[in-house]
Structure 1
Amino acid sequence: MSDNVCTFTHARSRALIRQLRAAGTGIVLDARGARPPAIVHWGADLGDLPAGALAAIADASVPAVPPSSIDVPLWLPLLPSFTDGWSERPGLDGFFTDHTPVALETWSADAGDGWLSVTGTGTLAVTTRLELSREGVLRIRHTLANRGSADFVLTALDLQLPVPDRAREVLDFSGLWAHERRPQRGELRHGAWMRESRHGRPGHDDAFLLVAGAPGFGFRDGEVWAAHLAWSGDKRVWAARSALGPAVLGAGELLGAGEVTLAPGAEYTTPWLVAVWSDRGLDGLSDRLHPWIRGRCELRRPRPVVLNTWEAVYFAQDLETLGALADAAGAVGVERFVLDDGWFTGRRDDRRALGDWFVDAEVWPAGLHPLITRVHEAGMDFGLWVEPEMVSPTSSLAERHPDWVLDGSPTWRFQRVLDLANPEAYGYVLERLNALLSEYPIAFLKWDHNRDVLAPGVAHRQTTALYRLLRELRVAHPDVEIESCASGGARIDLGILELVDRFWTSDTNDPLDRQTIQRWTSVLVPPEYLGGHLGDKAAHITGRTTDLAFRQVTALFGSAGIEWNLLRATPGEREAITEWIALHKRLRELLHTGRVVRGDTADPAQLVHGVVARDRRQAVFAYVTLDAPQAALPAPIRFPGLHPDRLYTVRPLLTGPVTQDAPPPWLASGSVTLPGRVLSAVGLAVPLLKPQQAALFEVSA
């Protein structure tokens, strides 16, 4: 037997067959007999069945033995191996340094309210825990313990869930800087559709959410199964269909050679795999994920409207300009003022000073206190940009401590990676951040991460050190909120969401790009965690010029803010911004607690999305034209998610420029009242918006 092959021999396990049920979702686990435990069913709730009926279901699922195969029926356990006849990816891969055989010889199982646990023991011990939340969200992870007398080198410990044959179409995502979350779909054929991230962070091209479903599934229709790995480092996710028939969704941390070696008695726990089933399309996934996330990561206050200084002044910081900008921000209703890059010693551009986390005495001779006083007097709290995981080669820190810089990683954006696994480097960052948060009344840190790590064998230790650092800061400064920014949206995952309060969704504020980025990111993440800012009419990233109404409607949904030098805005623009902020504050509770819904449109130039209150008495919808519609008279806008038997009044809130000789009559009259089933199935005639425009509608019972 070669060193890196794991073989499992099986003794009889504790007799257990059990189902988990919640919110229309059902899971059946078979842990009977000599075989390792396996999921027999994951999908629609099968009802409250006795053990005998569950056993009959499991027994009836045992397949025939085909020609030219192992001589017993194929069995796909939670931790599949060659021993089970599974020739796709094994669940466990690794070896003992003294060549001890890797074997799991005895299996046991246990169950409780909403959870199941199975353990295989031998030269290793592997415990798999499954939890099904009341919303129907499944979490699963493994814990591996070394029970041998030699070190165990772990190369893979992956999580796999079965999906049925009808899940023949796969959706995941790719992207670029400032163009994240680009969907890509295809047929799930024999073999594996594998996505690997080797960025030391999920990356702009992160697969993000892997969905397998019935062909043609959309936002409102179709049966789908989805998986997300809650981890901020290197990872792999895949969908695979064996030539024998079974198909799986899988994920796991992507470990470098020797990156995790377990001494005798040591343990390794995988990240959680978060998995969801829906028979109501992609919106059905959000209907489960959003309330589950909101229950686990409860925000401590309503999301304040932010002004970030980056696209207003860039590195040109001085008290007079920023004090005036703070006054202007407070006057239009901003609630949080964030000082971005450029405040620390020697930082005049992006090629120097990262790591020297001291307030620049030349730019700020009295420190940040005078600016913070102006911010507070304008009625706002204060936030600060930092990038603690990076260091500039020309910084004082790098010159004093070159051993704190990761070897083997090239410069990227003129910066290197600080080795947070080095206790001295970790201690320095923690001390500097604690000092800043203790000296100044900082309510918010914009925590950036502007490059890939690109160093061999360090992603695991770097990610775990980051998590530890964030936990320590949250304990020491419980009132400080933190935003995860990674050159925009390159680190958006449910692992780090337990430690932060906001994501910077993308570096682009161009509303044309933001519409699709926000649309797809919010399938997984509730909108209140997704920062979106109102930029200047000429977008910083793309140079595209867009109308104010389009920018306003786009930035309204989510954690809203401004990235614009208001000192250069016209009086009319400031008045419009004041009204927009007031509207956002009026709708904020709805936007940040309601159900996110998206319409399926035949014309790709048209988007419809909205938020419906949990009691379905109120909603707000956006109708967006990304390009020129395919027809002179586009299809009516339909309003999904409303109560079919309730009467609703629809009123326009904001409409961008149009090309029409006369508006639809209902719009000219100012409102219309119709039953929810009519608004959802038939819809309303739309204003003839110009390309790259949007209209906003309020729907009230």
Structure 2
Amino acid sequence: MMPDPRDPSMNSPEAHDCAGPTVRIHLSSAGVSLLLDVTGGCIPAVLHWGPALGSLTEADAAQLAAVTTPPVANNAPDVPLRLGLLPQNADGWLGTPGLTGSRPDGSGFAPRLSCHAVRLDGEILAEADEDRDRAGFVEAASGLVTFELEDRANGLEARLEVELTAQGLLRARAEVTNAGAETYTLSDLTLALPVPLDATELLDFAGRWAHERVPQRRGFTTGTHLRQNRRGRTGADAAHLLHAGTAGFNFSSGQVWAVHVGFSGNHVHLAERTSGGTQILAGGELLLPGEGHLASGDSYRSPWLYGSYGNGLDEVARRFHRHLRSRKHHVSTDRPVTLNVWEAVYFDHDLGRLTDLADRAAALGVERYVLDDGWFGSRRDDTSGLGDWVVSPDAWPEGLGPLIDHVTGLGMQFGLWFEPEMVNLDSELARAHPEWVMAPSAERIPFESRYQQVLNLSHPGAFEHVHRQMDALLNEYDISYIKWDHNRDLVEAADRSSGAAATHAQTLAAYRLMDRLKADHPGLEIESCSSGGARVDLGVLERTDRVWVSDCIDPLERLSMNRWTSQLIPFELMGSHIASGRSHTTGRLHSLSFRAAAALMGHLGIEWDLAEATEDELSELRTWIELYKQRREFLFTGDLVRADRGMDALWLTGVVSPTKDRALYVLACTESTELATVGQVRLPGLDPRSRYRVRPLVLGETPSNLRWPAWALDGVDPATDRNYRGRHELPLTDGIELPGAALANTGLAAPLMDPETAVLIEVEAVGRPESSDRSGTSERSATPARPETAGPAGD
């Protein structure tokens, strides 16, 4: 006798193949709570991700599961909607499904996964086994929760991993295995995190070459905000992070939830609100047709989807920063001042000129010297030689030894440029192995970009060839740093022999090549460069030690790009260089003080033909380098803080030490507006109960038309000094003292500043309460005593 579909028992979990354990896990760390729920073996769901809930009991968790269950709406399934980490159509979810795919006959397109085992840090919490407890509750500070899932009817198995780190950062990923006899073609595997309806605005990023990470904000409305990236690399126009927040959220206020896909190939971010009032942020890899082809027993694992919650954008960013800084392989705070020769010489490689540049750099205190494109094969311009990683006998008849020996003899590290994933058709490699060039067929290849094609590193022969040539150079020469470039999108990225899409395989092969080189050469650092900033993500940063933010080093452009790149990664991972006076990408002219101030909040470097610099410029540049060296330990352990004044053009970016005993702010005027120099500027991030000494800091030449207010001046009163307006350089104070609360809430009168100028403001604690609030401190070690400072101009 067939069951009656009107029977209420038909809507029970058991009737929908969801029989299994019930367990709830509450993880809470660094002011964030994550409450996970498995009820009767149904797919794991997030009951809460956001502000800390305090300690919960098992009864509390059960009640929260009950009170967060939505009512059954008219014209909807007769069971409440359950939104899982992998949202399922089978649960009544009509938004974007988390897992889609099918068998050859079209079956299996809407799987129903159920949970049969739950582990916390590897220890079993619950299992669908008669000998084990079928209900439970666990509370922990942080940890990795693993859910074992299956859909027996469709022959699928899955594993979900969800972690809350000690820094309050969430990350999750999924792995799907084909347990059936026939092939299963996976189309999408996208994890989703719920956000409350209080989040009414979205913020993500757009951009292009030389203008990366441009913020864009819009309302969070019904429908899907979809950001798909099909470039085969992260992309200059990538979403970077997708934020959802309460109305008007800014750097310091408003609840904000954000996600980031830690993957360097095709990927997707989406924000979705259903007509039923459910909201999610989601992301994963974007698989091209056939890339999810799973034979019996095969598995596919998604990249990590990271989630950060905070009160304001700065707190969201700091969770990422603290997580990255907690890694065992994270870079030292002693980040070397770097000279890259690209904008100095381009392809004109002359030993005398390059050794002279090294001498000038060493005299300034530069600690790493990087030789860029043009040292190999027939590479005298960008039309040929790419892929032939052999030192050119024409450009370097004695090899690279003379230059490297000269550089290292001056006490600097030596770095070398490569582009391992690309090839010119005019190269020995392409002529010998045309089958290694990515193309949809043997008869047709993609259009060229910068005269180059993509080398298929997923081909074993191509991979070993590139590794062998790079490894030989690293063995022969004292090379401690690789600038790893990637100058074109992957268009029609296919294995030439089969025509099958190969973007996924190419991304993983690039990761393997980086991993192998680093394993074989301990201490080797790699910079992720991709036409500038087109490969900035947490997948590549598992293998690299910094990113090149942009090929544009114009300080006005970099102020914005550095500011928003740091929404994901800390300053020590961001290449930030002082370029020549006239920008090579925009043509703008800027003072050295503006160029240096814009570059200071990052891993400092130089991209400038120093032979063209005047003695005054070299002297000022040396002063900026000294300041960076004195402050880098502090800059790379402290907390990022940012502020602006709505639509104003006065931007403040700063670092506050973990113990809140010091801070350094860059105050920059980005354009001319009637509000740019009116009113006060607030100094965020300080301990409100401590007292601080505040002083202006001007290095080198005073910016044009800079007019400090009275608080910054020593013995000069603008109200009574009749010569105040006509004096360009005035003596600056050694400091004024105020409580942190006053500096953060009232602020200081802003100086009058020309557009495209910047000054520094330095803050140091002079009196602290015995029990200061340390709730916002970093997990990194405390900053050491303040070193001797560079004095302000005019003292």
TM-score norm. by structure 1 comes to: 0.97
Deviations 1:54-78 (Å, cap 9, x if unpaired)?
0011111111111111111111112
Match for 1:118 among 147, 155, 169?
A: 147
Mapped partners of 1:241, 1:105: distance in 2: 23
2:325 corresponds in structure 1 to 294
1:155 alignment partner, SS class: strand
Match for 1:552 among 575, 592, 596?
A: 596
2:617 alignment partner, SS class: helix
**Structure 1: gaps spanning 5 or more residues:** 1-7
The residue type equivalent to 2:316 in the other structure is: L
Match for 2:194 among 152, 159, 162?
A: 162
Native 8 Å contact 1:18 1:51 kept in 2 = no
Match for 1:692 among 753, 756, 762?
A: 756
Per-residue deviation, 1:35: 3.1
Mapped partners of 1:576, 1:660: distance in 2: 18
1:95 corresponds in structure 2 to 102
Mapped partners of 1:662, 1:143: distance in 2: 59
Per-residue deviation, 1:177: 0.2
Does 2:118 align with 1:54? no
2:125 corresponds in structure 1 to none
Does 2:426 align with 1:418? no
**Identity between Structure 1 and Structure 2 (%):** 44
Does 2:151 align with 1:107? no
Mapped partners of 2:92, 2:18: distance in 1: 17
Deviates most, 253-262 or 482-491: 253-262
Deviations 1:454-513 (Å, cap 9, x if unpaired)?
124221000010011111001001111100000000000001101001100100110000
Mapped partners of 1:548, 1:260: distance in 2: 52
Aligned residues: 693
Structure 1 pair 299–544 and aligned structure 2 pair: CA distance change class (3 A): same
1:218 alignment partner, SS class: coil
Deviations 1:594-635 (Å, cap 9, x if unpaired)?
101001323431100100110111111010000114237422
Native 8 Å contact 1:104 1:124 kept in 2 = no
1:452 corresponds in structure 2 to 489
Does 2:673 align with 1:666? no
Query: After superposition, where does 1:126-145 map in structure 2 within 5 Å?
Result: 126-145=158-177
Native 8 Å contact 2:172 2:306 kept in 1 = yes
Per-residue deviation, 1:36: 2.3
Deviates most, 191-200 or 369-378: 369-378
2:42 corresponds in structure 1 to 35
The residue type equivalent to 1:628 in the other structure is: S
Structure 1 pair 599–661 and aligned structure 2 pair: CA distance change class (3 A): closer
Native 8 Å contact 1:163 1:247 kept in 2 = yes
Mapped partners of 1:368, 1:272: distance in 2: 40
Native 8 Å contact 1:213 1:225 kept in 2 = yes
Deviates most, 666-675 or 165-174: 666-675
Per-residue deviation, 1:388: 0.7
Structure 1 pair 69–580 and aligned structure 2 pair: CA distance change class (3 A): same
Query: After superposition, where does 1:648-659 map in structure 2 within 5 Å?
Result: 648-654=692-698, 656-659=702-705
Native 8 Å contact 1:606 1:629 kept in 2 = no
Mapped partners of 2:64, 2:707: distance in 1: 64
2:621 corresponds in structure 1 to 577
Native 8 Å contact 2:333 2:637 kept in 1 = no
1:65 corresponds in structure 2 to 72
Per-residue deviation, 1:661: 6.5
Does 2:305 align with 1:267? no
The residue type equivalent to 1:659 in the other structure is: N
Per-residue deviation, 1:117: 2.1
Per-residue deviation, 1:19: 1.1
The residue type equivalent to 2:116 in the other structure is: S
Mapped partners of 2:756, 2:357: distance in 1: 29
1:428 corresponds in structure 2 to 465
1:290 alignment partner, SS class: helix
Match for 1:512 among 543, 556, 563?
A: 556
Query: After superposition, where does 1:482-521 map in structure 2 within 5 Å?
Result: 482-521=526-565
Match for 1:281 among 309, 312, 322?
A: 312
Deviations 1:508-532 (Å, cap 9, x if unpaired)?
1100000000000101101100001
Mapped partners of 2:539, 2:707: distance in 1: 52
Per-residue deviation, 1:689: 1.4
Structure 1 pair 340–42 and aligned structure 2 pair: CA distance change class (3 A): same
Native 8 Å contact 2:186 2:292 kept in 1 = yes
Per-residue deviation, 1:109: 3.5
Deviations 1:414-461 (Å, cap 9, x if unpaired)?
100000011111110000000010000001000000010112422100
2:784 corresponds in structure 1 to none
CA RMSD of aligned residues (A): 1.5
1:591 corresponds in structure 2 to 635
Structure 1 pair 660–36 and aligned structure 2 pair: CA distance change class (3 A): closer
Mapped partners of 2:68, 2:182: distance in 1: 40
Mapped partners of 1:472, 1:147: distance in 2: 32
The residue type equivalent to 2:118 in the other structure is: D
Does 2:741 align with 1:677? yes
**Structure 2: gaps spanning 5 or more residues:** 1-14, 122-142, 441-445, 494-500, 715-731, 766-795
TM-score norm. by structure 2 comes to: 0.85
Mapped partners of 1:474, 1:109: distance in 2: 37
Deviations 1:641-676 (Å, cap 9, x if unpaired)?
011111111122226524367743433451211111
2:713 alignment partner, SS class: helix
Query: After superposition, where does 1:226-237 map in structure 2 within 5 Å?
Result: 226-237=258-269
2:27 corresponds in structure 1 to 20
Query: After superposition, where does 1:198-347 map in structure 2 within 5 Å?
Result: 198-278=230-310, 280-296=311-327, 297-300=329-332, 302-347=334-379
Native 8 Å contact 2:648 2:675 kept in 1 = no
Mapped partners of 1:595, 1:472: distance in 2: 33
2:568 corresponds in structure 1 to 524
Mapped partners of 2:46, 2:764: distance in 1: 44
Per-residue deviation, 1:219: 0.3
Native 8 Å contact 1:533 1:562 kept in 2 = yes
Native 8 Å contact 1:9 1:105 kept in 2 = no
Structure 1 pair 38–572 and aligned structure 2 pair: CA distance change class (3 A): same
2:219 corresponds in structure 1 to 187
Per-residue deviation, 1:93: 0.6
2:783 corresponds in structure 1 to none
Mapped partners of 2:43, 2:473: distance in 1: 53
The residue type equivalent to 1:489 in the other structure is: G
Mapped partners of 1:601, 1:585: distance in 2: 31
Structure 1 pair 370–38 and aligned structure 2 pair: CA distance change class (3 A): same
Mapped partners of 1:191, 1:575: distance in 2: 57
1:642 corresponds in structure 2 to 686
- Please say which structure displays the higher CA radius of gyration: 2
1:3 corresponds in structure 2 to none
Does 2:666 align with 1:622? yes
Match for 1:367 among 396, 399, 411?
A: 399
1:524 alignment partner, SS class: coil
Deviates most, 101-110 or 446-455: 101-110
Structure 1 pair 589–47 and aligned structure 2 pair: CA distance change class (3 A): same
2:386 corresponds in structure 1 to 354
The residue type equivalent to 1:14 in the other structure is: P
1:289 alignment partner, SS class: helix
2:358 alignment partner, SS class: helix
